[in-house]
Amino acid sequence: MVTEAPKQKVQLKQGMLDNVMRQFSNAAAIIGLNSNIRKILEVTNNEILVHFPVRMDNGEVEIFTGYRVQHNNALGPYKGGLRYHPTVDIDAARALAMWMTWKTSLAGLPYGGAKGGIQLDPSKYSQAELERITRRFTYALGDNIGPELDIPAPDVNTNSQTMAWILDTYMSTKSPAERSTNTHVVTGKPIGAGGSEGRDRATGYGVFLTIKFWAEHKGVDLKGKKFIVQGFGNVGYWTAHFLENEGAIMVAVQDAYGTLHNNQGIPVEKLLEYAKANKGSILGFAGAQSIDNKEFFALDCDICVPAALGNQITIENASKIKAVLIAEGANGPTDVEAEEVLLQRGVEILPDILCNSGGVIGSYFEWLQNRSGEIWQLEEVMTKLEKKLRESFNKVMETSQKRGVDKRAAAFIIAIERLEDAYVQRGIFP
């Protein structure tokens, strides 16, 4: 997501929260959400701020500030990532926690929404320091997280290794008899430490599936359809991999190094092999021509998959897009003005909250396996993912048609209505 410049830092955070609140208010107004439930969903349940000391490699002690915002748990335990970044603060965590509540609700998962992290620049710390910071942060959070209370996951600057440290620290604080019952305190773990098969490709596979469902819905065959992908990282690669398997043709790809184009098709696996051997860069690949980055979104294609940065499709390039479908693999790749232009032009958009929800569904499967002491095979994980995502997709299409709203508004409406049902049925204590 593109935000404001550093000097406008306050606006940056406010902007993020404003954006989430605006989307919520829009959907709440359409469904005429009960004002009391609206009051509840507009605020976060708990906001935890911890300051904790960590010994650095040079022997000095440094104090860190960590956050965990728990927005809502009406549908189940809080769920959301932990990020390590200088921009982490309470407002960013609030906005992202709220976003997680809608995402898990739309996906039909038994989870609420949370987000947190530590305000730091990880490039300034050694691996040993990062391990101590992570472990001490976990200890500071104490019983505010837990396998049935709040389940963190990887986010910006955190990975499966970070989750393994959190798991190990959290388990160490429990009595020996309880330790093995706490493996699901975090998701996104390495496979050897209780992680799930298929978690690596879950987001990309989810993006592909939503495109496939859309094609089925429209009676379109994906075979021979041309697609372009912005981003050749985890999400971009796996989406392209599955689309190619289905017979679609990748005609352009853009990554951090530049843009490649070949109207006859770029072989996905060969490009990955090349990029791996070329320090991650796609540039110089023999099977395509390098073109100017500005030409990317204007290229002739049927499907456009933005799977890199936020706010990439703007008023500047929206009118030039030739694709009939935009599948949002990244979070917030289309800005508000661009979306209006695209919808007026009849371009269909599969919203991020639906399109990239394969990741959090994959996390749910990891949690379920740990909880029941099972280990699922890859095929089983992918089959269950398809079933779950198909449910979400069908609901979005049905709501969009029934209420005469675009698919993004429909996705928000479904998420909010599910929460509304929970409050209506349960009431409020006392």
Partner 1 sequence: MEQVRKKYKWSICSTCTFLSFCELTKDKSNISSCSEYIHYMDGHTKMSLFERSQNKVPRAKKEFNNWF
Which residues does the annotation mark as catalytic?
A: 115
| Token couple for 222 | 């994906």
Using CA atoms, how far residue 170 sits from 30, 167, 175, 419, in Å, is: 43, 5, 11, 30
Residue corresponding to tokens 């005429």: 32
Q: How far apart, in Å, are the Cα atoms of 241 and each of 95, 227, 238?
A: 33, 12, 5
Complex with partner 1: residue 156 or 315, whichever CB lies closer: 156
Cα gap 220→228, rounded to integer Å: 18
Task: Give min distance, CB of 139 to partner 1, in A.
Answer: 18
Distances (CA, A) of 375 to 153, 195, 360, 388: 19, 9, 18, 19
Q: What DSSP letter does each residue of 53-92 carry, written as one string?
A: EEE-TTS-EEEEEEEEEEEE-SSSSEEEEEEE-TT--HHH
Nearer to partner 1, 163 or 416 (CB): 163
Report the distance separating Cα 401 and Cα 301, nearest Å: 26
Task: CB nearer to partner 1: give 57 or 421.
Answer: 57
Whole-angstrom Cα distance, residue 254 to residue 218? 28
Q: How far apart are CB 69 and partner 1 at their closest, in Å? A: 16
Residue with Cβ nearer partner 1 (242 or 364): 242
Question: Smallest distance, Å, CB 127 to partner 1?
Answer: 5
Residues near partner 1 (CB under 8 A) are 1-6, 9, 12, 16, 85-87, 92, 121-123, 127-128, 130-131, 156-159, 161-162, 197, 201, 230-236, 242, 245-246, 254-259, 280-281, 293, 307-310, 312, 329-332, 378-379, 382
User: To 5 degrees, how large is the angle CA 277–CA 278–CA 281?
Assistant: 130
Residue with smaller CB distance to partner 1, 330 or 419 = 330
Distance CA(307)–CA(330), nearest Å, equals 4
Q: How many CA atoms lie within 13 A of 295 on its CB side?
A: 14
Contact 231, 280 (CB under 8 A): no
DSSP class per residue in 87-103: T--HHHHHHHHHHHHHH
- CB closer to partner 1 out of 255 and 302: 255
Tell me how far apart the alpha carbons of residues 152 and 164 are, in angstroms, rounded to a whole number: 11
Looking at the Cβ atoms of 110 and 280, the one nearer to partner 1 is 280
305 touches 248 (CB < 8 A) = no
Kindly tell me the burial class for residue 22, based on how many C-beta atoms sit within 10 Å of its own C-beta (0-12, 13-18, 19 or more).
Answer: exposed
